[in-house]
Structure 1
Amino acid sequence: MQYRISIFFVLAFVLMTLRGFAQESLPNISYSGTPKKYEIADITVVGVQNYDPAILVNLSGLRKGQTISVPGDEITQAIQKYWNHGLFSNAKIVASKIEGRQIWLEIQLSERPRLSEIIYYGLKKGEIETISEKVAMMKGSQVTPFLVNRAEKYIKDHFVEKGFYNTEVKIFQRDDTTKVNHVILEITVDKKEKVKVKTITITGNQIFTARKLDRAMKKTNEKGKILNFFRTKKFVIEKYEEDKVAMIDKYNEKGYRDARVVWDSITRNDDNTVNVRIHVEEGKKYFFGDISWVGNTIYASDYLSQNLKVKKGDVFNPKYLEKRLSTDEDAVSNLYMDNGYLFSSITPVEISANGDTINLEMRVFEGPQATINNVVINGNTKTHEHVVRREIRTKPGQLFSKSELIRTVRELAQLGHFDPEKISPDVQPNQEEGNVDLVYNLEEKANDQIELSGGWGAGMFVGSLGLKFTNFSVRNIFNGEAWRPLPTGDGQTLSLRAQTNGSYYQTYSATFVEPWLGGKKPNSLSLSVYYSKMTSMSSSMYGSYYSSYYGNQQEDDRFMKVFGASIGYGKRLTWPDDFFTIYAELGYQYYSLKDWTSMFISDGKSNVITLGLTLSRNSLDNPLYTRSGSNFSIGTKFTPPFSLLIDKDYNTLYKRANDGTSTNASKAKTELYQFVEYHKWSFKGEMFKPLDNRSKLVLRGKVEGGFLGYYNESTKSPFEKYYVGGDGMSGYSMYGSETVGVRGYENSSLTPINNTGQYDGNMYTKMTMELRYPITLQPSATVYALAFAESGNAWTEFKDYNPFNLYRSAGVGLRIFLPIFGLMGIDWGYGFDEVAGRPTANGSQFHFVIGQSF
Structure 2
Amino acid sequence: MHHNKKKVLAACLAMAIVASVQAQEQIVHPDINYAGTPRDLVIGGFNVSGIDGYEDYMLTGISGLSVGQHISVPGTEITEAVKRYWKHGLFSDVKISADSIVGDKIYLHISLKARPRVSTINYVGLKKSEKEDMEKKLGILQGGQITPNMIDRAKILAKKYFDDKGYKNADIEIQQRPDVTGKNQVILDVIIDKKDKIKVRHIYIEGNKYLSNLRIKGGLFHKGAFAKTHEAGKLSTFLKSKKFTPERWKADKEKLIEKYYELGYRDATILKDSVWNNDPKHVNVYVKVDEGKKYYIRNIHWVGNTVYNSAYLSNLLGMRKGDVYNQKLLNKRLREDDDAVSNLYYNNGYVFSSIDPAEQNIVGDSIDLEMRVLEGPQAHLSHVRINGNDRLYENVVRRELRTKPGDLFSKEALMRSARELASMGFFDPEKVTPDVKPNAEDGTVDINWNLTQKSNDQIEFSLGWGQTGIIGRVGLTLNNFSMANLFNKNKEHRGIMPIGDGEKLSIGVQTNGSYYQSYNTSYSTNWFGGKRPIQFSVGAFYSKQTDVSSNYYNSAWQNSYLQSLYGYNSYSYNYSNYENYYDPDKYVKLLGASIGWGKRLRWPDDYFNLSLELSFTRYMLKNWRYFSDLMTTGNSNNLNLSIAINRSSTDNQLFPRRGSEFTASVTLTPPWSMWDGKDYKNLATNPYSANYVREQQEKYRWIEYNKWKFKARTFTALTSAQKCFVLMTRVELGILGSYNKYKKSPFETFYVGGDGMSGYSSTYGEETIGLRGYENGSLTPYGSEGYAYDRMSLELRYPFLLGNTTIYGLTFVEGGNAWTETSKFNPFQMKRSAGVGVRIYLPMVGLMGIDWAYGFDKDNNGSKGGSQFHFVLGQEF
* Coarse TM-score class (shorter-chain normalised): 0.7 to 0.9
Tell me the distance in 2 between the aligned counterparts of 1:813 and 1:222: 32
The amino acid across from 1:737 in the alignment is E
Could you tell me how far apart the structure 2 residues matched to 1:637 and 1:845 are? 33
**Residue 137 in structure 1 maps to residue 162 in structure 2:** no
Per-residue deviation, 1:510: 1.9
Which letter does structure 1 place at the counterpart of 2:799? P
In the TM superposition, residue 563 of structure 1 has moved relative to its aligned partner by 0.6
Which region of structure 1 is more displaced relative to structure 2, 603-612 or 368-377? 368-377
Change (3 A) 1:90 1:661: closer
Equivalent residues in 2 for 1:496-515, closer than 5 Å: 496-515=507-526
What is the Cα deviation at residue 237 of structure 1? 1.6
Instruction: Give the letter for the 1:503 counterpart.
Output: S
In structure 1, what is the Cα distance between the partners aligned to 2:43 and 2:234? 77
Which one of the candidate residues 823, 826, 829 is aligned to 2:847?
823
Q: Does 1:767 align with 2:787?
A: no
**CA contact 1:176–1:183 (8 Å) conserved in 2:** yes
Aligned to 1:587: 615
Deviation digits for residues 557-602 of structure 1 (CA, Å, limit 9, x no counterpart): 2321111111112222233332121111111101111222322212
Distance 1:724 1:390 in 2: 40
When residues 802 and 174 of structure 1 are mapped into structure 2, their CA distance, relative to the original with a 3 A threshold, is: closer
Alpha-carbon offset, residue 296 of structure 1: 2.5
For residues 367 and 831 of structure 1, the distance between their equivalents in structure 2, rounded to whole angstroms, comes to 62
Secondary structure, aligned partner of 2:584: helix
In structure 1, C-alpha distance between the alignment counterparts of 2:49 and 2:306, rounded to whole Å: 73
Equivalences for residues 322-401 of structure 1 within 5 A: 322-401=331-410
Give matches, 1:155-194, under 5 Å: 155-194=158-197
Q: 1:337 to 1:57 in 2, by over 3 A?
A: farther
Residue identity in the other structure for 1:533: K
Cα pair 2:228 2:241 within 8 Å, conserved: yes
Give the Cα separation in 2 of the matches to 1:101 and 1:545.
Answer: 111
Whole-angstrom distance in 1 between the partners of 2:691 and 2:231? 81
Q: Does 1:528 align with 2:556?
A: no
Query: Deviations 1:286-335 (Å, cap 9, x if unpaired)?
Result: 22332222233333222222222222222222222222222222222222
Shift of 1:619: 0.6
CA displacement at 1:375 relative to structure 2: 3.3
Structure 1 residues 535 and 301, CA gap change in structure 2 (3 angstroms): same
Paired residue secondary structure (2:641): strand
More deviation, 575-584/207-216: 207-216
Tell me which amino acid in the other structure corresponds to 1:519: G
The answer (yes or no) to whether the contact 2:27–2:102 under 8 Å persists in 1 is: no
Select the residue among 741, 752, 760 that pairs with 2:770: 741
Question: Conserved in 2, the CA contact under 8 Å of 1:784 and 1:814?
Answer: yes
The equivalent residue for 1:153 is 156
Compared with structure 1, are the counterparts of its residues 108 and 383 closer, same or farther at alpha carbon in structure 2 (3 Å cutoff)?
farther
Please give the alpha-carbon distance, in whole angstroms, between the structure 2 residues aligned to 1:344 and 1:578: 28
Q: Pick closer, same or farther for the CA change 1:251–1:750 going to 2, 3 Å.
A: farther
Paired residue type of 1:157: K
1:389–1:148 distance in 2 versus 1, CA, 3 Å:
farther
On the 8 A contact 1:113/1:181 being kept in 2, the answer is: yes
Counterpart secondary structure, 1:598 = helix
Q: Which amino acid aligns with 2:838?
A: R
Is the Cα–Cα contact under 8 Å of residues 654 and 672 in structure 1 kept in the other structure? Answer: no
Shift of 1:242: 1.1
Match of 1:462, SS? strand
In the alignment, is the contact (CA less than 8 A) between 1:656 and 1:664 conserved in 2? no
- Are 1:786 and 1:812, in contact at CA under 8 Å, matched by a contact in 2? yes
C-alpha deviation, 1:68, in angstroms? 4.9
Q: SS at the partner of 2:126?
A: coil
Specify the alignment match of 1:307 in structure 2: 316
Shift of residue 770, structure 1, vs aligned partner: 2.8
Identity rate of aligned residues, in percent? 47
Are 2:717 and 1:669 aligned? no
Partner of 1:608: 638
TM-score by length of 1: 0.86
Q: Once the 2 structures are TM-superposed, how far is the Cα of residue 478 of structure 1 from its aligned partner?
A: 8.3
Residues of 2 paired with 1:626 and 1:308: CA distance?
Answer: 30
Taking the aligned partners of 1:358 and 1:402, their CA distance within structure 2 comes to 32
Match of 1:840 in 2: 863
Moved more, 459-468 or 93-102: 93-102
> Distance in 2 between the 1:542 and 1:567 partners?
41
Give the 3 Å change call, closer, same or farther, for CA 635–554 of structure 1 in structure 2: closer
Residues 504 and 538, structure 1, Cα contact 8 Å, conserved in 2: no
| Aligned twin of 1:9 | none
1:317 paired with 2:326, answer yes
Please give the secondary structure, in 1, of the residue aligned with 2:162: helix
Query: Which residue in 1 is equivalent to 2:802?
Result: 777
- The answer (yes or no) to whether the contact 1:722–1:794 under 8 Å persists in 2 is no
Report the alpha carbon displacement of residue 141 of structure 1 after superposing the two structures with TM. 2.7
Query: C-alpha separation between the residues in 2 aligned to 1:404 and 1:471?
Result: 25
Counterpart Cα distance in 2 of 1:117 and 1:110: 21
Q: 1:72 to 1:789 in 2, by over 3 A?
A: same
Does the 8 Å CA contact 1:776/1:784 hold for their aligned counterparts?
no
The residue aligned with 1:85 is 88
Q: Does 1:460 align with 2:460?
A: no
The one-letter amino acid of 1:617's match is: R
2:502 matches 1:491:
yes
Alpha carbons of 1:187 and 1:304: their partners in 2 closer, same or farther (altered >3 Å)? same
Q: 1:551 to 1:238 in 2, by over 3 A?
A: closer
2:221 corresponding residue in structure 1: none
**What is aligned with 2:653?**
623
Could you tell me which of 660, 680, 683 is aligned with 2:707? 680
Q: Deviations over 1:517-568 (max 9, x none)?
A: 23333322222211111223278898879999x9999733232111111111
User: Any idea what SS the aligned residue of 2:689 has?
Assistant: coil
8 Å CA contact 1:767–1:792 kept in 2: the answer is: no
Contact 2:27–2:101 at 8 Å: present in 1 too? no
Question: Which amino acid in 2 is paired with 1:334?
Answer: N
- The Cα shift of 1:356 comes to 1.9
TM-score normalised by length of structure 2: 0.84
Q: Which amino acid aligns with 1:193?
A: D
Relative distance call for 1:476 and 1:165 in structure 2 (3 A) is farther
Question: In structure 2, how many angstroms separate the alpha carbons of the residues matched to 1:650 and 1:738?
Answer: 29
Aligned pair partner of 2:684 in 657, 668, 684:
657
CA distance in 2, matches of 1:736, 1:60: 85
- Name the counterpart of 1:697: 725
Please state whether the residue corresponding to 2:272 is helix, strand or coil.
strand
Change in 2 beyond 3 A, CA 1:555/1:789: closer
RMSD: 3.6
2:5 alignment counterpart: none
Instruction: Please state how far the C-alpha of 1:785 moved relative to its aligned partner.
Output: 1.4
What is the alpha-carbon distance in structure 1 between the residues aligned to residue 469 and residue 359 of structure 2? Answer: 81
Give the letter aligned to residue 703 of structure 2.
V
Q: CA 1:608–1:92 in structure 2 vs 1: closer, same or farther (change >3 Å)?
A: same
Q: How many residues get paired?
A: 820
- The answer to whether the Cα contact below 8 Å between 1:522 and 1:572 also exists between their aligned partners in 2 is yes
CA contact (8 A) 1:749 1:841 kept: no
5+ residue gaps in structure 2?
1-24, 219-223, 560-577
Check the 8 A contact 2:299/2:369 in 1, yes or no. Answer: yes
Aligned mates of 2:553, 2:168 — CA distance in 1: 65
What letter is aligned with 1:347?
D
Partner of 2:12: none
Question: What pairs up with 1:553-572 in 2 under 5 angstroms?
Answer: 555-572=583-600
- Cα pair distance change 1:89/1:79, threshold 3 Å: same
Letter in 1 for 2:343: N
Determine the C-alpha separation between the residues in 2 that align with 1:785 and 1:377.
Answer: 35
Residues 1:77 and 1:302: Cα distance change in structure 2 (over 3 Å): farther
CA distance in structure 2 between the aligned counterparts of 1:577 and 1:249, rounded to whole angstroms: 38
Q: 1:83 to 1:458 in 2, by over 3 A?
A: closer
Paired with 1:409 and 1:603, the residues of 2 have a C-alpha distance of 54
